[in-house]
């Protein structure tokens, strides 16, 4: 990749779509958000997204879509399938059987790849972040939902039909049964998503706390906050234990909004993990915070992915 070439990373969320323009080194040159319209047809939405990116290019680099300096676009979307290039069914977007990769290539006039957002975040951490010196790690995103991206032997693992690594839907034993957004019971996402953590806080305190408040109270030694942190750390460690014995990773990389709890939280999770995991793995797995921005990991990964795709 030449020094004057750029790539787009895009993360299509249920409310907003994040757009990042990156240079060859992974530096974020420009960042914008665009409302995700659930009422518009996908074709119209991608056309509007392309217009937004055209304006971004004109203001930043004085070029337009289709310019040879644009390597391409890497986009994340719910239930995006890398192999087929389609989104089969994304209830949060109201999309069914959308040929998303073709739409991007048509409107952006350049190569495109699509993935789910956790996969993209894992790719970004491998190329430019906390995973660049690791060959085997699991990226866990703790946000609106719980996602997982696997890097095995230095490469992204998707599984058959690109449906692997749905770590948020691992079942954990729990005395308080909870319904997951997918309809299943006692999935990690039921407890470790933003909604799940808020429910736990409500159950333990009778109050509503933000993740930021939880972190502040925990670091100040608030006993209720310590109880909450120990509870969610054990729930997360229980799920990670299943992944650990199956995959034997060097590390779990924690991203998403909950990662703002920082290394102190990671150490509590690691202590719980070492208590639960098979003795042969104790002390051999690290837990680290994703080094890319907690809310921009997928766009970093999108740019990294398309760069690797084009130049591999």
Separation of alpha carbons 103 and 94, rounded Å: 17
* Position 38 pLDDT exceeds 90: no
Cβ neighbourhood burial of 66 (10 Å; 0-12, 13-18, 19+)? exposed
Beta-strand pair 137-142/146-152: antiparallel
23 Cβ contact partners less than 8 Å away, ≥ 6 residues apart: 3, 5, 6, 29
Most confident range (mean pLDDT) of 36-50, 171-185, 223-237 is 223-237
**pLDDT higher than 80, residue 91:** no
> How many angstroms separate the CA atoms of 96 and 42, rounded?
10
Taking 80 as the threshold, does the pLDDT of residue 294 lie above it? no
Is residue 205 very low, low, confident or very high in pLDDT (cuts 50, 70, 90)?
Answer: very high
Tell me what pLDDT residue 78 has.
82
pLDDT in the model for residue 311: 84
Mean pLDDT of the 102-120 span: 95
Is 272 a residue whose pLDDT tops 90? yes
Q: What is the mean pLDDT of residues 207-219?
A: 92
Give mean pLDDT, residues 257-272: 91
Per-residue pLDDT averaged across 238-265, rounded? 93
Question: Given the structure tokens 């990773």, which residue do they identify?
Answer: 249
pLDDT, residue 60, reads 92
Position 222 pLDDT exceeds 80: yes
Query: Which pLDDT band, with edges at 50, 70 and 90, does 259 fall under?
Result: confident
CB contact at 8 A, 92 and 78: yes
When mean pLDDT is compared across 62-71, 288-297, 300-309, the lowest value belongs to: 288-297
pLDDT band per the 50, 70, 90 thresholds, residue 166: confident
pLDDT at 1 over 80: no
When pLDDT is cut at 50, 70 and 90, the band that residue 94 belongs to is: confident
SS (HEC) of 272-306: HHHHHCCHHHCCCCEEEECCCCCCCHHHHHHHHHH
Section 303-309 average pLDDT: 93
User: What pLDDT score was predicted for residue 89?
Assistant: 83
- Residue 267: pLDDT band (50, 70, 90) is very high
């Amino acid at each position: 990749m030449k020094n004057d070439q750029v790539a787009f990373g895009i993360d299509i969320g249920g409310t907003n779509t994040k757009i990042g323009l990156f240079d060859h080194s992974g530096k974020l040159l420009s960042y914008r958000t665009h409302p995700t319209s659930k009422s518009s047809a996908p074709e119209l939405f991608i056309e509007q997204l392309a217009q937004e990116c055209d304006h971004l290019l004109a203001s930043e680099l004085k070029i337009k879509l289709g310019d040879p300096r644009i390597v391409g676009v890497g986009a994340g979307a719910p239930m995006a399938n890398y192999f087929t290039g389609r989104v089969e069914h994304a209830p949060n977007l109201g999309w069914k059987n959308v040929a998303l990769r073709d739409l991007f290539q048509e409107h952006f006039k350049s190569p495109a790849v699509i993935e789910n957002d956790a996969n993209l975040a894992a790719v970004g951490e491998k190329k430019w972040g906390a995973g660049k010196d690791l060959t085997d790690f699991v990226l866990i995103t703790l946000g609106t939902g719980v996602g997982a991206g696997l890097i095995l032997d230095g490469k992204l693992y998707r599984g058959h039909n690109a449906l692997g690594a749905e770590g948020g839907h691992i079942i954990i034993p729990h005395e308080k049964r909870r319904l997951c957004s997918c309809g299943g019971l006692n999935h990690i996402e039921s407890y470790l998503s933003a909604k799940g953590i808020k429910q736990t806080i409500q159950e333990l305190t009778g109050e509503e706390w933000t993740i930021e408040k939880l972190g502040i109270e925990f670091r100040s030694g608030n006993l209720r906050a310590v109880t909450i942190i120990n509870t969610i750390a054990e729930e997360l460690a229980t799920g990670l234990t299943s992944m650990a014995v199956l995959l034997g990773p060097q590390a779990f990389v924690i991203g998403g909004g909950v990662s703002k709890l920082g290394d102190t939280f990671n150490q509590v999770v690691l202590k719980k993990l070492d208590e639960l995991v098979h003795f042969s793995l104790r002390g051999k797995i690290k837990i680290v915070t994703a080094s890319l921005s907690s809310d921009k990991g997928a766009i970093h990964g999108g740019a990294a992915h398309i760069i690797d795709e084009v130049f591999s």
